[in-house]
Amino acid sequence: MKPFLLLFPLISLSGCDQQEVAWQHWCFPAEYLSPASSIASNAGDTAFDSQLSAAPILFFPAEYVAKHVTGFRTTISMPDAGQLVQNLPVNFQPVNISAELPSDSTLESLLPGTDLLVLKAHDPYQWSVYNKKEEKLQLWGSCDLNSKEDYECFRTIQHDGVNLRYSLHRDNIKNYHEIDELIIKNLEYWRCGS
Amino acid sequence: MSATETDLAITPQERAYQISGNLEAFWKSRLDKKDPVARIGYALWVTDVEKLRQEIGKGDPKFWNYKGFSYWEFMARSTVVNLATGLNKGGFRGNFKETREKIKQVGIRVARWHIRFVQDDYKNKTGNIAGKLSLKQMADYHHLAFSEFNIPSNFYGGTWLEAIPDAAEFALYGDLYCHDCDSDEGYRGTSQ
């Protein structure tokens, strides 16, 4: 994390004329919310799932993330889609994620240079990822095949009574500790009245 | 899951369709499961609009939101025009063929995000029906896919229903909604 770079944008978000959206104990600056955050109904279309989450959806532009996370790649080239901008969407998940944890002997490293583990025998299309916190195995998230050699992941964090899910490409996965920290620091800053 | 509900999990075959860029087959497979997003997805990528007409004609009117072929065909055409306009605003410049290719790339990414959101929803049993998305979830990942291509967020502000192109945009990009077309005759895109 780049502490000095982080300070300025946090201060810049605190302007009193900033439009904010309150949810639970947070007051989110509107500029960091996805436009989909404000959708409260299915507009009468009964084919959709009738239960909508009331939670806002956070959206950090790639350039913003790169200012705070060393080595974060703002664009990544994919063979079927060209250069794609790596923005950082963050969803509040409505459920507690629970998972059966495998034994250490069944796991291997997902990617060199990371602490991420995956079952040696896992589904080729989508697989759970684990890491260890204070020597204790925990679910990190899941990854999903993009093409033969490429994948994208959903990282899940439990923080302050909520589950947060964000998406990141394999090429940015080594940065997940700093990304976790960036999201959590912003959430702490966005507590109403802070 | 009750006997009348379809299993909305993403299948390996559907993943293979998306990875190979066969969007018509991908969305047809989802349509057969009554995935609500497949209505516009299939309308966008079907190679022959008569197939769309037939699907709507034989389908459950409630699933099609009591809207007929002309509505869904117009929605698909509007989406293509919005995409072309949004790509242009985001800095993309291309001729007819290049613009269609770029729109296809956006379509592949939309399908990809759809797979990820549906699978996550299915696994975590979000909402009332596992694997079925709400309008909000659909809008969420469309915004993500569009933003990957620098398409400004107001081109997908919430739902496609809120973003109907104007007459000038239809005149400029309307011909991009075509099936098996490969000529840029009459195309008036901004690079011409």
Let me know: does A29 contact A58? Beta carbons within 8 Å. Answer: no
pLDDT at B157: 46
Asked whether residue B3 is assigned to any structural domain, the reply reads no
Element (H, E) at A66: helix A62-68
Structure tokens at A130: 């684990």
Closest CB from A43, A142, A145 relative to B161: A43
Burial of B76 (0-12, 13-18, 19+ CB in 10 A): buried
The residue ranges of chain A whose pLDDT is under 70 are 1-18, 94-97
- Sequence length of chain A is 194
Closest CB from A35, A142, A165 relative to B153: A35
pTM comes to 0.88
Mark yes or no for CB contact B156/A35 under 8 Å. Answer: yes
The chain A residue lying nearest B152, using CA atoms, is A35
pLDDT at A4: 38
Asked whether residue B192 is assigned to any structural domain, the reply reads no
Could you give the CA distance from residue B48 to residue B179 in angstroms, rounded to a whole number? 6
pLDDT at B189: 56
Q: Report the C-alpha dihedral over residues B79, B159, B23, B167, rounded to 10 degrees.
A: 0
Output DSSP code: residue B132: P
pLDDT at A31: 93
The residue ranges of chain B whose pLDDT is under 50 are 3, 157-158, 161, 186, 191-192
Provide the residue range defining the domain that includes B57: 12-176
pLDDT at B179: 64
Asked whether residue B188 is assigned to any structural domain, the reply reads no
Mark yes or no for CB contact B36/A57 under 8 Å. Answer: no
Give the number of domains in chain B: 1
Structure tokens at A111: 């990617």
